[in-house]
Chain A
Amino acid sequence: DAGITQSPRHKVTETGTPVTLRCHQTENHRYMYWYRQDPGHGLRLIHYSYGVKDTDKGEVSDGYSVSRSKTEDFLLTLESATSSQTSVYFCAISESGTSGDQSTDTQYFGPGTRLTVL
Chain B
Amino acid sequence: DQQVKQNSPSLSVQEGRISILNCDYTNSMFDYFLWYKKYPAEGPTFLISISSIKDKNEDGRFTVFLNKSAKHLSLHIVPSQPGDSAVYFCAASAGGGSNYKLTFGKGTLLTVNP
Contact = CB atoms under 8 A, between A and B. Distances in A.
A42 B46 contact: no
Contacts of B67: none
A112 B57 CA distance: 29
Given A104-B32, A107-B102, A109-B44, A43 B89 contact: yes
Q: How large is the interface on A (under 10, 10 to 19, 20 to 34, 35 or more residues)?
A: 20 to 34
A65 to B, nearest CB: 18
B83 to A, nearest CB: 17
A31 to B, nearest CB: 6
Contacts of B95: 98, 101-103
Please classify how large the interface on chain B is, using the bins under 10, 10 to 19, 20 to 34, 35 or more. 20 to 34
Contacts of A41: 106
Given A31-B100, A48-B99, A98-B96, A103 B32 contact: yes
B49 interface: yes
Given A102-B95, A106-B46, A111-B43, A48 B101 contact: yes
A57 to B, nearest CB: 10
Contact of B46 (A43, A45, A56, A108): A108
B101 A109 contact: no
Contact of A40 (B91, B103, B106): B106
Nearest to B36: A109
A79 interface: no
Contacts of B93: 103, 105
Interface in B68-114: 89, 91, 93-96, 99-107
Given A106-B34, A107-B102, A112 B43 contact: yes
Given A31-B99, A33-B102, 16 more contacts: A41-B106, A43-B91, A43-B104, A45-B101, A48-B99, A50-B99, A56-B99, A96-B96, A99-B51, A103-B51, A103-B95, A103-B96, A105-B32, A106-B34, A109-B36, A112-B42
